Amino acid sequence: MARIIGALATSHIPAIGGAIAKGLEEDPYWKPFFDGFGPARDWIRREKPDVAIVFYNDHGLNFFLDKMPTFAVGAAPEYRNDDEGWGIPTLPPFKGAPDLSWAIINHLVDREFDIVTCQEMLVDHAFTLPIKLFWPEGGGPLTVPVCINTVQFPLPSAKRCVALGRAVGEAVAAWAGDKKVVMIGSGGLSHQLDGQRAGFINKPFDLKFMQSMIDEPEWAAQYSIHELVEKTGTQGIELLNWLAARAAAPGPVHKVHSNYHIPISNTAAGMLALEAA
């Protein structure tokens, strides 16, 4: 049977990809961010997860504002990256895990989630950067993309994203594949890129949210979407991906490591690695 070994979470700012491509990990501006990944990478090398389920949000590469599904799950043998216009080099395709994808899709439908099933799927920096950050030498795991709309209102509630994560975790636990599975939440933390609050960061909320992921994983689900936007900024709502990933790794967890650094490209950059107890 498949075993869920934990959850990882990280910010996914496009500038991170540019820094990696230019070899700027030791640059004083970037070093505090990249140094935070060392213990998580050590844990990954030790545990060797076979599959990563990535909860993320698309930025227009695969879905655009005229067609924005609330939830979409990839069911392809591979997922291609493509040029987003950021000047980040395009990466080789990421291998899929179609058998697990279909197990998740069928279970979500049984749990009354109306999802979009994608047998072809482009993946942008929100998907590629976590894989590159946690597996910097390459050789990453098989992948299953789970895309959550955090872009075009109406957005799914935090409670609904927690329920989605739980259902994904149930599907993985029931899957007959003999694999180690890690959940990844991609996005956030607090930031707003436009409007009167451009540059907004809420450090106290971010730190409370990161702590809640360890010992009170449904804490943020008490807030409505509009309340979360008020507390985190328009793009900070990407924390929905963290919530879903944590909910998909049920039960108590131990913190392997965390890192919080501000600002990176006007964004509160967080990283969290949790091991299933």
- Residues with a known catalytic role: 125, 191
- Cβ contact 234:193 at 8 Å: yes
Q: Which of 135, 187, 202 is nearest to 11 (CA)?
A: 187
Q: Looking at this protein, which amino acid is placed at residue 167?
A: A
For residue 143, give the nearest of 242, 253, 246, 51 by alpha carbon: 51
Measure the CA–CA gap between 106 and 151, rounded to whole angstroms.
26
* Contacts with 78 (C-beta within 8 Å, 6 or more apart), sequence order: 93, 94, 95, 96
Q: CA 28 to CA 30: how far, in whole Å?
A: 6
Asked whether 202 and 190 are in contact (CB, 8 A), the reply is yes
Q: If DSSP states are collapsed to H, E and C, what string results for 49-99?
A: CCEEEEEECCCCCCCECCECCCEEEECCCEEEECCCCCCCCCCCCEEECHH
CA 72, 80, 76: angle at the middle one, nearest 5? 50
- Given a contact cutoff of 8 angstroms between Cβ atoms, the answer to whether 186 and 130 are in contact is yes
Tokens 């702590």 correspond to what residue? 211
